[in-house]
């Protein structure tokens, strides 16, 4: 069932690849249709999922390369299910939003987006570390091509920077994965990359810290955690609208997901020990991102830096290492996906009309585009965490969780809430209100039906989560409890040796 | 000791290829021009029957211990035959265009293939030397086949002169080892070196031997010939020699170090590890600056030698198997990348600028997709074979336990990141660029077949790697068995 979900987009991509080259309209329909079918598959997974259990469910396991202990092993728990839900909602919207703005190489574009969806779903659902790494790296290629082929002026630079930055950080994770594998050969006597098996290893504290650092570097670049964020503004600014939306809404979450998934399972002591460091970096990120956003003159860069700030909140909730913090983090990942995705869509719509991203070139847009103004208002307030919107629920839980761990963290984090209201309201005022400054105001035509349609589900989710977050929270409740329980495991005292031992390739029982 | 008949049975694959080479050479004298396709058919039939013989002939030792047929022989010979077949497939289209169509070309390709096959089977240093020369001399000639081109002549001459030096080094190493141990049989040398402490003579002997093989495999710092030779040699020749020479050289390196001298691993692993590290670093950094497709692939092939060398330096059974898998995937992706280049032509010349590949996706979507797969695989990214075999090499290196393995693995992944930059430029241009009117596409069925085979190997190994690892396993089990 999960395999169907993961590989459905790539099957659609193959179909698209086999279409004749000049059928752009058909290509778009197949693309959106495939992503909607994937959404349905995710709904089916949701119904088959038992929320009362914190364990991995709907497991599928096949030997892939038995002599190395690599398996194709997938499963879902409440944490990954939430992000899967976000993914399958955002992808069709990104494709619909590109209907008119992508006119060159439509086929390749659709193939890249669908391939990316498979890679993202695979990353979220893998329970074998090599399988995870394969999908994790596979995300980079279509994303770099989305930026590099359909981006704006500086696209090549941004694509290369994105690729090299994120890949350099993740190759050390590969080394750490192999090191875990080698330690498992010594301790368990089997060749395995299975997450559950590797989680039973007794790792001494020193080894944990080194290996966790390698994993954390890969994830921190993806999040991005300050000071590793410098690739993000360039990538976001140069990417096409669909690319920015997917990058902000989904790809950044893969980093935070990595922390939640692998930190507590593989390196509990190292995670606890490094929590203050993570929290400090998160708080710097919150405040720095907010302050820098305020200083931007480019609308897309402003939103890009606001992501640094918002993802700082997610990291802060994570570093709190308690139920409220972690739940808040998860909700905030979803929220950020919805509201920042929507913000990038709005900028994309404005850019399609005026071909400028400079804030100074706008003003008074609300008069020409009242529907857009309404949508922008709602999304902006959600991003600024107004009570009643989804943003409030997430940031409130995070600050609550942070307060329980250290009141100072909460106090500093709360400063970010205020700053985010400042820069968002400022941006809104500059763009939507005041005198009309656009050079070609006649181009500022109201949203079409299709454009408006894209925002309907997003706005609905903003209020649904804001007013009644209970169903969402209950999905991940059991998984969060199970994750936190793993932090109680004592550290090993025996050295986790890398020394070789005679070993027969063996298939671990599940 | 085996009887002469039994010895002849053991070398049946080599005999078949030699016979094919002679048939091709003679038949060419009587064939009317334009009927040379028959030669290609004959060469392929010969190679296939030799492949069947490799699969069927049982293992054994022949010719008073000079020759051995075991897992390494079988795996490396199977690969050498496949490489030779691809080398034959990619040539005719180009030779026709360049007016170089001659039966000798195929004869030389087949002979070089026999050389590589014999290198894998040598159980004696003198035999290894003869095999090395059987491999090298046809390659010198092949590099110079572009008779009208000064660059091809320069390439052939340069390759020959430096290659002759390397052979001399090798031979001197053999002489020193003979002086120290009184034998040229590899197993006897292995035993003698365990019993007596390592002297300056044996150390120098092993060192010189390594230099000779490192030259053939283009390991840094013995690599400087490679870019110039690739650059000047005709495209199909460059493709063939960049792969077949490495198959032979690595078969010999595996035979000498992990298989024969495994007990002395402490003494040589650091030396080979340093070579591997230098090769990975310099090969990848130099490739960054290239604007010629051929020179890019030349440095890329140097860099990949470094990755394979990590496995030789590690020397454990799984590392040795990983080297064999690496060679299989390396052969497929490199021949594939060259085959794409053979299909292109810019104003009557080879299309050797990277810009010549711009817009290929519009003109030949399938060729461009295959080429993208080769580049992604060369860069070592999933879901291609390039990732899987690098994973196997680095896992083996880390599992060997020492700091050397860990350091090599870290250098390996770091340089792989560097390589992404120059490899992905090619597919980027193919998809983003505008096709140039000066560049023309010549795809023949044979060439397309070669690209298809290479692409299938690269993707199959990436998605379902079990077949290639099982094929390579027969080499690893030989480690530590005299």
Please report where in the chains the tokens 């996706």 appear, as a residue: B361
Sheet holding B439-441, edge to edge: B349-350, B344-346, B439-441
Cα angle for residues A3, A8, A10 (degrees, 5° grid): 110
Instruction: Answer yes or no: is pLDDT of A375 > 60.
Output: yes
Place of tokens 């060749």: A191
Compare CB distances from B401 to A164, A167, A498 and report the shortest one's residue.
Answer: A498
Mean pLDDT of the A2-21 span:
85
> Best residue in B307, B398, B405, B427 to probe A by mutation, most A CBs within 10 Å?
B398
Residue A502, pLDDT > 50, answer: no
Cβ contact B86:B217 at 8 Å: no
CA-based nearest residue to B90, from B439, B354, B293, B336: B336
- Å between B362 CA and nearest CA of chain A: 9
Smallest CA–CA distance from B418 into chain A, residue: A164
CA dist A391 and A400 (Å) reads 14
pLDDT at A509: 45
Which of A112, A159, A167 is the best substitution to test chain B (most B C-beta atoms within 10 A)? A167
| A66-80, A322-336, B346-360, B389-403: least confidently modelled range | B346-360
Residue written as token pair 């300050």: A226
Q: Using CB atoms, pick whichever of B361, B394, B466 lies closest to residue A65.
A: B466
**Residue A135: how many CB atoms within 10 A of its CB?**
23
Q: B391 with A130: CB under 8 angstroms?
A: yes
pLDDT confidence bin for A121, thresholds 50/70/90:
very high
- Taking CB atoms and an 8 Å cutoff, what residues of chain A touch B420? 163-164, 167
* A108 touching B (Cβ < 8 Å): yes
Cβ of B466 and A64 within 8 Å? Answer: yes
Closest to B469 (Cβ–Cβ): which among A67, A130, A145?
A: A67
- Residue B174: other Cβ atoms inside 10 A: 21
Residues in chain A with CB shorter than 8 Å from the CB of B400 are: 500
Rounded Cα gap, residues B412 and B420, in angstroms? 13
Asked if the Cβ–Cβ distance from A138 to B365 is below 8 Å, we say: no
Half-sphere exposure of A70 (CA within 13 A, CB side): 21
Are B127 and B67 in contact by the 8 Å Cβ rule? The answer is yes
Please state, in angstroms and rounded to a whole number, the distance separating the CA atoms of residues A365 and A492. Answer: 62
**Residues present in chain A in total:** 510
So what's the pLDDT on residue A491? 60
- Out of B410, B417, B466, closest to residue A167 by CB: B417
Positions of chain B with pLDDT under 70: 1-2, 481-482
pLDDT band, very low/low/confident/very high, at A376 (cuts 50, 70, 90): confident
Q: What would the two tokens of residue A225 be?
A: 């955690």
Q: What is the mean pLDDT of residues A281-309?
A: 88
Residues on chain A touching B424 (C-beta within 8 angstroms): 141, 144, 163
For every residue of chain B, which 3-state class applies, written as one string? CCCHHHHHHHCHHHHHHHHHHHHHHHHHHHCCCCCCHHHHHHHHHHHHHHHHHHHHCCCEEEHHHCEEECHHHHHHHHHHHHHHHHHHHHHHHHHHHHCCCCHHHHHHHHHHHHHHHHHHHECEHHHHHHHHHHHHHHHHHHHCCCCCCHHHHHHHHHHHHHHHHHHHHHHHHHHHHHHHHCCCEHHHHHHHHHHCCCCHHHHHHHHHHHHHHHHHHCCCCCCCHHHHHHHHCCHHHHHHHHHHHHHHHHHHHHHHHHHHCHHHHHHHHHHHHHHHHHHHHHHHHHHHCCCEHHHHHHHHHHHHHHHHHHHHHHCCHHHHHHHHHHHHHHHHHHHHHHHHHHCEEECCEECCEHHHHCCHHHHCHHHHHHHHHHHHHHCCCCCCHHHHHHHHHHHHHHHCCCHHHHHHHHHHHHHHHHHHHHHHHHHHHHHHCCCCCCEEECCCHHHHHHHHHHHHHHHHHHHCCHHHHHHHHHHHCCCCCC
Which residue do the tokens 């991203």 mark? A357
Mean model confidence pLDDT for chain A: 85
Mutate to test the interface with B, among A173, A182, A189 (most CBs of B within 10 A): A182
Nearest to B274 by CA among B220, B319, B346: B220
**Which range has the worst mean pLDDT, A359-368, A453-462, B457-466?**
A359-368
Determine what percent of chain A falls in helix, strand and coil, rounding each to the nearest 5.
75, 5, 20
Nearest CA in chain A to B321: A67
| Per-residue confidence (pLDDT) for residue B443, from 0 to 100 | 80
Confidence of residue A125 (pLDDT cuts 50, 70, 90): very high
Q: Which residue has the higher pLDDT, A100 or A110?
A: A110
Decide if pLDDT at A471 tops 90.
no
Query: d(Cα B413, Cα B406) in Å, to the nearest integer?
Result: 11
Q: Given this model, what pLDDT does residue B193 score?
A: 85
Give B322→chain A minimum CA distance, Å: 11
Residue B353 Cα, gap to closest chain A Cα (Å): 19
Tokens of B469: 């690892």
Phi, psi torsion values for B35, nearest 5 degrees:
-105, 15
Give the one of B399, B465, B470 whose C-beta lies nearest to A500's C-beta.
B399
Hey, where are the domains in chain A? 270-467
Joined tokens for residue B460? 């199959």
Residues of B in contact with A149 (CB under 8 A): 428, 431-432
Note the pLDDT of residue A490.
65
Please report the pLDDT score of residue A507 as a whole number.
47
∠A143-A147-A150 over CA atoms, to 5°? 120
Contact B466 A167 (CB under 8 A): no
All residues of chain B having their beta carbon less than 8 Å from the beta carbon of residue A66 are 466
| Residue from A3, A178, A214, A238 to probe the interface with B (highest B Cβ count within 10 Å) | A178
**What is d(CA B162, CA A61) in angstroms, rounded to the nearest whole number?**
54
State how far residue A218 is from chain B, nearest Cα, in angstroms.
13
Q: What is the per-residue DSSP string for A166-223?
A: HHHHHHHHHHHHHHHHHHHHHHHSS---BHHHHTT---BHHHHHHHHHHHHHHHHHHT
Rounded mean pLDDT of A135-162? 85
Does B237 lie at the interface with A, CB-CB under 8 angstroms?
A: no
3-state secondary structure (DSSP) of residue A72:
strand
Q: Residue ranges of the alpha helices (H) in A355-445?
A: 365-368, 370-383, 390-405, 407-432
Q: Is A501 helix (H, G, I), strand (E, B) or coil?
A: coil
- ipTM score assigned to the predicted complex: 0.86
Q: Do B413 and A172 touch (CB under 8 A)?
A: yes
Min Cα–Cα distance to chain A from B279, Å: 19
Three-state SS at A61? strand
Nearest CA in chain B to A161: B421
Tell me what the mean pLDDT of segment A382-388 comes to.
83
By Cβ distance, the residue of A68, A130, A137 closest to B381 is: A137
Report pLDDT for B481: 65
Per-residue pLDDT, A503: 45
Question: pLDDT tens digits, residue range A259-276?
Answer: 999 988 888 888 888 889
Summarize the confidence of residues A38-51 as an average pLDDT. 89
- What proportion of chain A, given as a percentage, has pLDDT over 90? 14
Beta-carbon separation of A181 and B395 below 8 A? yes
448-477 of B, contacting A, C-beta below 8 A = 464-466, 469-470, 473
Q: Using CA atoms, how far apart are residues A303 and A288, in angstroms rounded to an integer? A: 13
């Amino acid at each position: 069932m999960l395999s169907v979900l993961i590989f459905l987009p790539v099957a659609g991509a193959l179909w698209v690849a086999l279409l004749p080259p000049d059928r752009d309209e058909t290509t778009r329909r197949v693309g959106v249709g495939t992503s909607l079918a994937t959404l349905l598959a995710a709904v089916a997974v949701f119904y088959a999922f038992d929320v009362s259990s914190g364990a991995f469910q709907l497991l599928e396991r096949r030997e892939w390369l038995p002599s190395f202990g690599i398996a194709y092993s997938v499963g879902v728990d409440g944490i990954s299910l939430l992000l899967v839900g976000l993914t399958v909602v955002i992808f069709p919207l990104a494709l619909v939003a590109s209907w008119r703005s992508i006119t060159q190489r439509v086929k390749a574009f659709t193939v890249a987006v669908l391939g990316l969806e498979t890679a993202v779903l695979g990353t979220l659902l893998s329970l074998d570390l090599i399988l995870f790494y394969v999908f994790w790296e596979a995300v980079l290629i279509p994303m770099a091509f989305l930026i590099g082929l359909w981006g704006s002026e500086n696209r090549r630079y941004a694509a290369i920077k994105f690729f090299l930055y994120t890949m350099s950080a993740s190759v050390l994770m590969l080394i750490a994965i192999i090191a875990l594998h080698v330690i498992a050969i010594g301790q368990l006597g089997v060749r395995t990359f299975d997450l559950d098996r590797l989680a039973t290893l007794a790792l001494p504290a020193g080894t944990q810290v080194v290996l966790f650092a390698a994993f954390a570097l890969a994830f921190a670049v993806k999040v991005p955690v300050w000071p590793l964020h410098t690739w993000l503004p360039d990538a976001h600014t140069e990417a096409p609208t669909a690319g920015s939306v997917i990058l902000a809404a989904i790809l950044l979450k893969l980093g935070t997901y990595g922390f939640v998934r692998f930190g507590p399972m593989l390196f509990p002591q190292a995670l606890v020990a490094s929590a203050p460091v993570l929290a400090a970096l998160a708080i710097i990120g919150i405040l720095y991102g907010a302050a820098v956003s305020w200083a931007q003159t480019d609308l897309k860069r402003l939103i890009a830096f606001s992501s640094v700030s918002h993802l700082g909140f997610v990291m802060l909730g994570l570093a709190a290492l308690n139920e409220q913090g972690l739940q808040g983090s998860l909700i905030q990942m979803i929220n950020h996906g919805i509201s920042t995705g929507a913000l990038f869509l709005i900028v994309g719509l404005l850019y399609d009309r005026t071909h400028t991203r400079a804030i100074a070139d706008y003003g008074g847009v609300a008069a020409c585009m009242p529907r857009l103004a309404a949508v922008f208002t709602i999304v902006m307030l959600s991003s600024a965490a107004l009570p009643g919107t989804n943003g409030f629920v997430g940031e409130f839980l995070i600050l609550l969780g942070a307060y329980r761990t250290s009141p100072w963290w909460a106090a500093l984090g709360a400063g970010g809430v205020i700053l985010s209201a400042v820069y968002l309201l400022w941006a809104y005022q500059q763009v939507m209100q005041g005198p009309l400054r656009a050079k070609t105001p006649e181009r500022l035509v109201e949203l079409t039906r299709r454009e408006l349609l894209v925002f309907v589900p997003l706005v609905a989710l903003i209020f649904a989560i804001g007013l009644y977050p209970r169903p969402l929270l209950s999905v991940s409740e059991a998984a969060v409890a199970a994750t936190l329980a793993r932090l109680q495991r004592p550290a090993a005292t025996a050295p986790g040796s890398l020394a070789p031992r005679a070993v027969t390739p063996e298939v671990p029982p599940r | 000791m085996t009887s002469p008949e039994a010895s002849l049975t053991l070398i049946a694959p080599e005999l078949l290829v030699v016979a094919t080479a002679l048939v091709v050479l003679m038949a060419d004298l009587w064939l009317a021009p334009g009927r040379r396709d028959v030669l290609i058919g004959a060469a392929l039939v010969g190679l296939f029957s030799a492949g069947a013989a490799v699969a069927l002939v049982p293992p054994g030792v022949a010719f008073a211990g000079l020759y051995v047929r075991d897992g390494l022989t079988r795996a490396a010979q199977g690969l050498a035959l496949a490489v030779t077949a691809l080398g034959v497939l990619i040539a005719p289209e180009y030779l026709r265009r360049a007016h170089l169509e001659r039966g000798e070309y195929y004869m030389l390709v087949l002979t070089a293939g026999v050389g590589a096959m014999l290198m894998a089977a040598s159980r004696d240093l003198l035999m290894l030397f003869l095999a090395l020369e059987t491999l090298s001399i046809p390659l010198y000639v092949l590099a110079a086949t572009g008779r009208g081109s000064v660059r091809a002549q320069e390439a052939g001459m340069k390759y020959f002169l430096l290659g002759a030096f390397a052979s001399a080094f090798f031979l001197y190493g053999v002489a020193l080892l003979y002086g120290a141990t009184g034998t040229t049989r590899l197993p006897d040398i292995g035993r003698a070196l365990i019993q007596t402490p390592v002297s300056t003579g044996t150390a120098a002997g092993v060192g010189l031997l390594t230099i000779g093989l490192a030259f053939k495999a283009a390991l840094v710092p013995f690599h400087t010939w490679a870019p110039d030779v690739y650059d000047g040699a005709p495209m199909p020749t460059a493709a063939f020699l960049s792969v077949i020479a490495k198959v032979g050289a690595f078969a010999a390196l595996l035979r000498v170090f992990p298989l024969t001298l495994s007990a002395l691993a402490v003494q040589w692993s650091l030396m080979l590890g340093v070579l591997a590290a230098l090769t990975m670093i310099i090969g990848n950094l130099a490739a960054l600056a290239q604007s010629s497709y051929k020179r890019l692939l030349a440095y890329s092939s140097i860099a990949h030698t470094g990755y394979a060398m990590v496995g030789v330096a590690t020397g454990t059974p799984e590392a040795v198997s990983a080297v064999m898998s690496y060679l299989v995937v390396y052969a497929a992706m490199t021949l594939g990348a060259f085959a794409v280049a053979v299909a292109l032509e810019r104003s009557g010349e080879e299309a050797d600028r990277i810009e010549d590949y711009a817009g290929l996706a519009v003109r030949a979507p399938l060729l461009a997709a295959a080429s993208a797969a080769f580049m992604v695989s060369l860069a070592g990214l999933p879901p291609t074979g390039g990732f899987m075999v690098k994973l196997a090499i680095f896992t083996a290196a880390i599992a060997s336990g020492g700091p050397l393995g860990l350091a090599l693995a870290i250098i390996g992944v770091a340089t792989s990141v560097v390589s992404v930059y120059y490899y992905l430029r090619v597919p980027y241009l193919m998809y983003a660029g505008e096709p140039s009117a000066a560049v023309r596409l010549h795809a023949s069925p044979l060439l397309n077949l070669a690209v298809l085979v290479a692409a299938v190997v690269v993707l199959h190994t990436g998605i379902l790697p079990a077949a290639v690892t099982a094929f390579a396993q027969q080499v690893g089990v030989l480690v530590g068995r005299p």
